[in-house]
């Protein structure tokens, strides 16, 4: 299997996690997931984690999974013509990957607050990979993607994430460009 095959298969499977992570800043707001609670004087999670952000992200990622299921036969036929095959998406996989993405993001905020890093404060690599910490293991368990795919994804996600956040910052859905 070529690296390109591993990359495309991997991106296809983690697409719901990517979409979930990108949807949170677009739809987020309202009630905080930590309900304003503090732990030893510091925010439990901070104002950047909201229930609406969490659930709209899971819904968006799952919805993309549905579109992927619908598009799969044609795309896979096209891929077979090139000697490739596209892994199959299921609704369960899309739902679990989106949920895992948002849980990873919550866990990262929990640890950032414990280390006194304010909401939105930058922690390179953690900020870009937090949503993958749980979703990559989930993808390895639930789909046929390989360890090479997972490795490629971990390497290319920080730059991709960075570019999309710059975009989010310029269109005004992100307060900071990371």
Q: In the complex, which residues of this chain contact Mg ion (CB under 5 A)?
A: 105
Q: Please report where in the chains the tokens 């866990």 appear, as a residue.
A: 107
Give the count of residues interacting with ligand CTP (CB under 6 A): 16
Residue closest to 112 by CA, chosen among 102, 103, 104, 121:
121
Residue closest to 85 by CA, chosen among 75, 71, 95, 98:
75
Q: Is 18 in the site for ligand CTP (CB under 6 A)?
A: no
Judged by CB, which is closer to ligand CTP: 105, or 136? Answer: 105
How does DSSP classify residue 119? T
Q: In sequence order, which ranges of the chain are alpha helices (DSSP H)?
A: 3-27, 51-81, 91-114, 126-129, 132-142, 147-171
Q: How far is the CB of 131 from Mg ion (least distance, A)?
A: 7
Among 99, 105, 135, 152, binds ligand CTP (CB under 6 A): 105
Binding to ligand CTP (CB under 6 A): which residues in 148-177?
Answer: none
Among 76, 84, 107, 121, binds ligand CTP (CB under 6 A): 121
Judged by CB, which is closer to ligand CTP: 120, or 158? Answer: 120
Q: Is 28 in the site for ligand CTP (CB under 6 A)?
A: yes
Q: Is 119 in the site for ligand CTP (CB under 6 A)?
A: yes
Binding mask 42-81 for ligand CTP (x = CB under 6 A): ----x-xxx--xx---------------------------
Angle between helices 91-114 and 3-27 (to 10 degrees): 70
Judged by CB, which is closer to ligand CTP: 105, or 143? Answer: 105
Judged by CB, which is closer to Mg ion: 34, or 105? Answer: 105
Q: Is 112 in the site for ligand CTP (CB under 6 A)?
A: yes
> Using CA atoms in the order 61, 63, 68, 71, what is the torsion angle rounded to 10 degrees?
-160
For every residue of 30-69, which 3-state class applies, written as one string? CCECCCCCEECCEECCCCCCEHHHHHHHHHHHHHHHHHHH
């Amino acid at each position: 299997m070529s690296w390109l095959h591993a990359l495309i298969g991997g991106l296809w499977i983690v697409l719901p996690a990517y979409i979930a992570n990108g949807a949170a800043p677009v739809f987020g707001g309202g009630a905080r997931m930590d309900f304003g609670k503090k732990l030893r004087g510091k925010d439990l999670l901070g104002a950047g984690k909201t229930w609406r952000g969490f659930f709209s992200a899971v819904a968006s990622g799952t919805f993309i999974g549905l579109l992927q299921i619908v598009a799969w036969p044609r795309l896979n036929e096209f891929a077979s013509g090139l000697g490739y095959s596209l892994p199959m998406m299921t609704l369960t996989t899309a739902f679990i990957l989106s949920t895992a993405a948002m849980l990873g993001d919550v866990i990262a905020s929990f640890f950032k607050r414990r280390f006194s890093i304010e909401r939105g404060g930058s922690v390179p690599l953690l900020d870009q990979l937090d949503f993958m910490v749980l979703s990559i293991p989930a993808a390895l368990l639930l789909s046929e993607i390989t360890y090479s795919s997972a490795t490629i994804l971990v390497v290319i996600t920080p730059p991709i994430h960075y570019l999309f956040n710059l975009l989010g910052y310029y269109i005004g859905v992100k307060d900071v460009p990371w």
